[in-house]
A and B are shown apart, each in its own frame.
Chain A
Amino acid sequence: MRGHLKWFVLLVAMLLITAACGGSEPDDPADEGDAPAGATMAFGTSADPVVLDGALVSDGESLRAIDQMFEGLVTLDPGTTEVVAGLAESWDISEDAQTYTFQLHDGVTFHDGEPLNAEAVCYNFDRWYNFPKPFQQADATYYYQTVFGGFKGNPDALYDSCTATDELTVELKLTKPSASLLGALALTNFTIASPKALEQYGADEGKINADSLFQATGTYGTQHPTGTGPFKFVEWNRGDRLVMERNEDYWGEFPGNIDTLIFRPIADGAARLQALQTGEIQGYDLVDPQDFETIQGDENLQLLERPAFNVGYIGFNQAIEPFDDIAVRQAIAHAVDRQEIVDAFYAGQGEVAHEFMPPEVEGYADDVTKYEYDPEKAKQLLQDAGHTLPVQIDFAYPTDVSRPYMPDPQANFEAIVSDLEECCFKVETKSATWSPDYLGNVDVGKYGSYLLGWTGDYADADNFIGTFFQTKQPAWGFDNQEVFDCLNEAELEIDPDARVGMYEECNRIIMDFLPGLPYVHTGVGLAFTANVEGYRPSPVTLEPFSIVTVNE
């Protein structure tokens, strides 16, 4: 071993010599310490944005970047899910919840100098509603379709018309009542872009390429995103960096001191931490649980926590035996020591989940059936139901992925399998790469049980349990009209209090039925250097950098 090491040291030394020969240049030893004028913040992200056009994205990294440069009619108070004024300083919703009237701020301009007025806003709504066919693919406009039901010509479309009744008044008419639209308009996907820039840089232009795939030919979303936000686009070098600069003409408050904001994609969590430690970046998102200790133990770094807004669960597919047997589902719930897993693998950020939605979301019921860790009881349940132990089940986990609700799926999986086998099951393990194989297999109902989870888009019970259980789905393989009805009725209820009560009831029904076993809600770690102040983690990751200060 020693000779081996020596060998490497020798090689390194020789390479350094050759490298020096290759590029002998006047080295200025003092070139390390030049502090930038005005604060620069480099932030490590997990990936590049897809495109910088809010209407066309659904991935977190695109949304994060767009949030800094664009604003919607309404927004969320930083760090919360409370809807507050954005470009609209006030609004009015008609009795029948079919007409929304927005009063815009005066004196707001886009980054290209164009005024923000009612016409510009309506231009955006019209653009979305009239998206040509290729844009109508779910991968392009998932959120528009989810919120507005469809495009022009679609009978389910919620949008009726947008009228500029005067310079600063927007009247938005809907085809049917909606109580939840206002909250949805806070989504980054509905931020307002400069009509002139959209046209000038061909935001809606595209060709169908040889693969029949829509390909934007315009440069709007890659080189000229133009909004009203606190930061302006400078340049985007894919795979390397996205650079934004402070919008000097910003109409709103800009309490922070960042002049230059750089997003740098670094896929690997360990690499993000190293970049932070070496000072290449001043902050990053999605801290790996194993790095918490390191960051907390380093006085030059700080750790922030984004509140839990997710759920990790074991899904059961009742179309596959023996998961159709409630006794088996209950036995699994009693056999898995969820507390141990949450304690060991979530670095103190997690809490054991008892429902399919986090406690912060309205509609969470405190009195659902809870399943404590009790292997003996699990055995008893199985035996009473006439099973011979151990019961054979299949169980799958995804590889090549880290999600906030399961930073290391394999670790969770192995621990769960070990609990199950220790108690009373024989597990046949299955796995596949997360995307598309694993998700595909789950969706078509190929696995008997599987690890999965969900991160909320907005604070609404419908976004959690509605997504999972409102209709019959192969992933769950059950057909329980009681559950479907409960969720359908709750979604349509306009009275907020009644709605909350209905969702609580749904949660009780669901946890008795036990279509899956939720096991964790977890916060997500964000790391910064110690000199960064003012960052406000938000449950839905709407986090402005304009309020952040970087001290010398």
Chain B
Amino acid sequence: MSITEAEAAQLSFERPSGLWADAWDRFKRNPAALVGIVLIVVFILAAIFAAQIAPFEPNEQAGPLATNPAGPGGEHLLGLDMQGRDVFTRILFGARLSLLVGLVSVSVGLALGLVLGSLAGYLGGRVDFAIMRVMDLMLSVPGLLLAIALVTVMGRGLISIMLAVGIVQVPTFARLLRGSILGQREADYVLAARSVGVPGRRVLLGHILPNSIAPVIVQATLAMATAIIEVAALSFVGLGPNDPRLPEWGKMLAENANRLQQSVHLVLFPGLAIVFSTLGINLIGDGLREAIDPKLKT
């Protein structure tokens, strides 16, 4: 899911003054977005207070080792896994990991995308051409395949997963930013700044970028949801984090995908955790999008 360049350009024409206040006003009145906030707050609280809420340690053997571990019930709200660990505990600790991984990978994609996109948009010409062709190339490989390829090359591990998922998002951010900068390069206030002799770099940093930020924030929010899902997908195809004992949701789900028939709880609960967290983020992102520009009713 992403915003088109046209939308981005349109979004950016909003003048900054009063935009945020208006947006917040609209956001508050959007019930779906509030549900999103509630969901995410729950997950963030779970992540912060995992150690306090959880009845066990994430790697504590709380029950017997078993090929077919016990399902939900009794002392173990969401059942046990093969190593006799408490699934509820691990899902709580997993929130920490998933949110962190999502945040870091989006930051990677955002940072690289911002730099490349603004270079391309602002400098134009050959730089623009070169950067955008590389972006095209990256976009011509389906995202997950690209991430798989990157992780395979860099070797498995949390770091390479975050990098890979981030890199896959670079073209989206770069295009978005370039589009919105192109839309504003000729805007009155930019021309004005130029005409009074403000240096190019300051025009970019001080004027154009801040004004392009709204669509970027929306996109970054949505990208966070994509990132969480993509990390889980990497785990699913066997490219998850290296340490098998990490309670990463995608990994927990993937490991037990072949136990659907006997131990559906090992697939269901981590899966639902992914669904509700990404849903929360998507609801917020969607709310933001509408709040920032009510004309975009997507």
Contacts and interface: CB of A to CB of B under 8 A. Distances in A.
**Touch test A–B (CB under 8 Å):** yes
Interface of A: 268-270, 273-274, 288-294, 340-341, 343-345, 347, 397, 399-400, 408, 410-411, 413-415, 417-418, 429-433
B245 interface: yes
Given A291-B262, A400-B238, A344 B64 contact: yes
A399 B66 contact: no
Contacts of B59: 418
A140 to B, nearest CB: 27
Given A418-B83, A432-B156, A294 B64 contact: no
B66 A344 contact: yes
A345 B255 contact: no
B258 interface: yes
14 contacts: A269-B258, A270-B258, A270-B260, A289-B67, A291-B262, A345-B82, A410-B244, A411-B65, A411-B83, A413-B244, A414-B82, A418-B61, A431-B156, A433-B238
Contacts of B245: 414, 417, 429
A399 B254 CA distance: 12
Most buried by B among A290, A294, A400: A290
B83 A415 contact: yes
Contacts of A411: 65, 82-83
Question: Binding site of A, secondary structure by majority: helix, strand, loop or mixed?
Answer: helix
Given A270-B260, A399-B238, 18 more contacts: A270-B258, A270-B259, A270-B261, A290-B258, A290-B263, A293-B262, A340-B65, A343-B65, A344-B67, A345-B65, A400-B238, A411-B83, A413-B244, A414-B82, A415-B83, A429-B244, A429-B245, A432-B156
B261 A294 contact: yes
Nearest to A401: B238
Contact of A273 (B68, B242, B255, B261): B261
B75 interface: no
A290 B259 contact: yes
Interface in B122-143: none
Most buried by B among A273, A344, A397: A344
Contact of B244 (A288, A294, A341, A414): A414
B186 interface: no
A429 B243 contact: yes
Given A270-B261, A294-B262, A417-B245, A410 B65 contact: no
Interface of B: 59, 61, 64-68, 82-83, 156, 238, 242-245, 255, 258-263
A293 B260 CA distance: 14
Given A414-B244, A415-B83, A418-B83, A268 B258 contact: yes
B83 A429 contact: no
Nearest to A1: B272
Contacts of A417: 245
Contacts of B260: 270
Given A270-B259, A418-B83, A290 B67 contact: yes
A334 to B, nearest CB: 19
Nearest to B157: A431
A399 B245 CA distance: 13
Contacts of B156: 399, 431-432
Given A288-B258, A290-B262, A414 B83 contact: yes
Contacts of A344: 64-67, 82
Given A268-B258, A411-B83, A418-B83, A293 B244 contact: no
Q: Which 4 pairs of residues, A with B, have the shortest CB-CB distance? A: A344-B65, A270-B258, A400-B238, A290-B67
